[in-house]
Every structure is written in structure tokens, then in C-alpha cells.
Amino acid sequence: MNISVIGTGYVGLTLSALLAKVGHKVHCIDVIEDKIKTIKEGKSYFYELGLDNLVKYGIDSRNLTPTLNYEEGVKDADIIFLSVGTPSGADGGWDLTYIYDAVENAAKFMKDGVIFVQRSTVPVGTGKRAIEIIKKTNPKANFTYLSSPEFLREGSAVLDSIIQDRIVMGGDNEEKKKILFKIFEEIEKMAPQITEETPEIHEYASTYISNGGSKEGAFKDKCISTCLESAELIKVCSNTFLATKITFANNIARVCDRVGANINEVMDGVGMDRRIGRSFLYAGLGFGGGCFPKDVKGLIKSTEDLGVDAQLFKRVYELNESQVDYVVDCIKQMGVLGGSQVGVLGLSFKPGTSDVRVSPAGRLCKALSHEGFAVLATDPRAIEESKKDFPEDKNLKYVDTVEDVFKNSEIVVLATEWPEYKELDYERLSKLMKSKNFYDARNFLEKEKMNKIFKFDNLGA
């Protein structure tokens, strides 16, 4: 089929590359020239585990055509996927400017019979407005509009696309939904080949699945057909509920710090309840990235607009915002004084991605800098992005190596749980430090092992 994907972020580019891999002719559209130029070179302009291999295949096979031109990208499309960003607006709600601009631009050139599929995270009611825009822009158009929200985790977007939890399809045309379900089934059938061809995906697949990620299963059991409004709500509710689980674990970790309990033991016991589950009940620096903070704020705004109490969601957001300050206080309680040099391992909001949007690790660096600490931070993938979102200042500098982080530091803080940080030679690195203090803000490292090397502490454990 001829398919158009509007938007080349981690959702849109991953989808484009996978559709090209299974043999469809795909145009991916963006309005930023540098992004399209990089994709044409056969690589992603951001780091996402395993994505470069797929993009290269798409370009080499000529199944993937990046373009800035809506007419070129849309005119022959049987299906148009909309994967445009929905950043937070000034009022905390979603800014839908890019969504509606993309809908209007696509409507000008789309052919009769096209299936228009909304993949972006949007508030309920967006679909109805989009349909109105299409009809106004192209009154004679014959089209079907569906909402099919994505459920990808940055850092494992490829894996989550080929081994899916569920595929939601909202709208009133069941026959067109079947076409979309079939396309996603094609992608899932390619999972063994893709994991075999992509070493880093193969390496992490079992880890992600065992940690509560996507599960394999009968494909038909994953397909959910709903009305348009239900599909729009499912994604936002999912993200907010997961954010709530993270915040719940972080708040209980504070209790554990007070009474001497172990947050991992507590959450292991809680998570064994099948009604609750263990996934996302992990204490740390809090949630970040381009989805959870934005979606929680967006749900607060849309809930209030509907006249429904949003206090629960507000408190989730407020507690998450305070988690970085709590960790700063924990570092001070270890006896590390203002003005001391602090090393920080990790800047991206999670491992496997270069995304630093609303990153708790980046926010921690800025909070420490504001408190007067001299901060040296590094990351395997996200240094350049951090320089843009969390600019260097007189107290904050980014360095290229972990040795630079440890050298002469009073304390080192693990802020992003990159797998390579588990394998570091901490015995050797500790000898570079001024004082052997270490704080694990992700509860990622083995406490017994680290206690033999450092004056070690972690969150709620």
C-alpha cells in the first residue's frame, strides 16, 4: 500500500521505518529541513534503540521517502497516519496547532477513499474537530477518520511496535479498522526477523519483556475496537495512571526513608497482587520525557474544562515535581556541603533514548547548580540535547567521560539507569574522588556491592 506518515518524531519515524520494512511504500513528512535531510542519509536524527538500522533499510530499499512536500507525500496515500507533536500550551492543556495545521495541509491533497489515522496523543474531541477541518478544506472528499493511539516507550519504541500490548482503533467504520489491524499484524509478524537483524534490540528484548514491558500473545486478542472518543481517552488515561503509579512509589519511598523500610521489598510485595502489578512501581527521580508530564497536565486541563474534579491528577503532578528537590535534600543529608563538586551519571529522562525533555536528571543538575554545587554531568547519548534544554552555566558543565565525573568529586549521583553504568569499575573510579560518597537516585545498583566501595545511599532502600 501507499502510506503517508506526517511527523518524524520517535512515534512517526519508527512507524514509517517499520511500514517500509514490511514492504509498504511510505512517505514520511516533516516541516523541518534538517530532520528530513538526516533521514534521507539513512539514519535517525535522534537516538532510539535499533531505529537507525530500520531507517537505513527503508532508504536503501526505496520503500521510505522522506519529504517536506505535503502534496508529494499525501497525494497517492491509501492511509495517512498523523504523528505530529502536541506540546503543552500556556494553560497546561495540549497545544493542537500543529495537529490542525497538518490535518488541513493533508486534506488539500488526499485522494478519495483515504483512511486518516490519528496517532498523536490528543484530548477527547480532537477527532471531531479534525473531521470538520477536513470537510471544510476538501468538501468533496470521501474519507474515513480513525483514532489509533500509540503506546510506545521511548528507548524501546521499536520493540514496543513489533511486540505490542494492544492495538486500539476508534471510529465507526469496522471494515476500515480491519485494514489497519492487518497492517499492525504484518509488523508484529516481522518481530523475529527484526530482533535477529538488530543486535541491540535482540540484546534488550528479553530484559524489557521481563521488566513488565510488551507481552507476546494472540494478535486478535490485542485488537480493541471502540468509538472515537474512547480511543482518544484510552491513551491519556493510560499515561496518567502509569504516572500515578510512579508517584505512588516515590511517595512511599519517602516513608521508607523515615522508618527504615526498603522500597523495593515493599513494592515487590504490593506488585505481586495481580490486581495491581509490579510495573511502574519503581522509586526514582520521577517521570519525565515528552509524554507523561504533558499528558498529565493535559488531562488536568481537559478534565477541569468539563467541570470534573481534577485534584487527584494535580497532586500526582505536584508530587512528581517535588521529587528532584527531595533527592537534593537526601544528598545534603549525606554531609555534602554547598559548593562541593557533584558528579552526575545520566541526563536523558530514561535509558535507551537521547530525549531530555522534562528530564528529571537534567532538572536535578539544574537544581544542584542553583544550590551552589559544582556539577559535572555526562550521558552516553544525550549530552548535546542537554546543552540545549539544560544549558551549561557557571556551576554546571557537561563532560565526555565517566572518569571526568568522578575526578575530585565529593559525591557522584546516578540519575539515569543506563545499562552500561551497572558494569562500571566503581572500585577504580572511586579512587579518583575527593570523598567516596555515592547516591543512587534510581535504585539501580546493588547496594551490598556498592557499600563495600562507597559511603552509599539510595532512595527508600
* Exposed/middle/buried for residue 424 (C-beta within 10 Å: 0-12, 13-18, 19+): middle
For 61-86, b/e burial (b = at least 16 CB within 10 A) is eebbbbbeebeebbebbbbbbbbbbb
Asked whether 39 and 52 are in contact (CB, 8 A), the reply is no
Q: What is the CB neighbour count within 10 angstroms for residue 97?
A: 13
Q: What whole-number distance in Å separates Cα of residue 453 and Cα of residue 461?
A: 17
The packing angle between helices 228-259 and 311-333, to 10°, is: 30
Asked whether 399 and 405 are in contact (CB, 8 A), the reply is yes
3-state DSSP of 394-423: CCEEECCCHHHHHCCCCEEEECCCCHHHHC
Strands (E) located in 137-259? 143-147, 167-170, 223-226
Amino acid symbol at 325: D
Asked whether 35 and 45 are in contact (CB, 8 A), the reply is yes
From residue 208, alpha-carbon distances to 50, 153, 159, 214, 275 in Å are 14, 10, 9, 8, 21
- CB-based contacts of 57: which residues, under 8 Å, 6+ apart? 17, 20, 21, 63
344 in helix, strand or coil?
strand
Q: What whole-number distance in Å separates Cα of residue 333 and Cα of residue 161?
A: 43
Q: Which among 28, 223, 291, 365 is annotated as catalytic?
A: 291
Query: Alpha-carbon Rg of the chain, whole angstroms?
Result: 23
Asked whether 391 and 414 are in contact (CB, 8 A), the reply is no
233 in helix, strand or coil?
helix
Q: What whole-number distance in Å separates Cα of residue 433 and Cα of residue 436?
A: 6
Give the residue from 117, 129, 131 showing the smallest Cα distance to 19: 117
Grid cell listed for 233: 481517552
Backbone angles phi, psi at 386, to 5 degrees: -65, -35
291 in catalytic set: yes
Residues annotated as part of the active site: 291
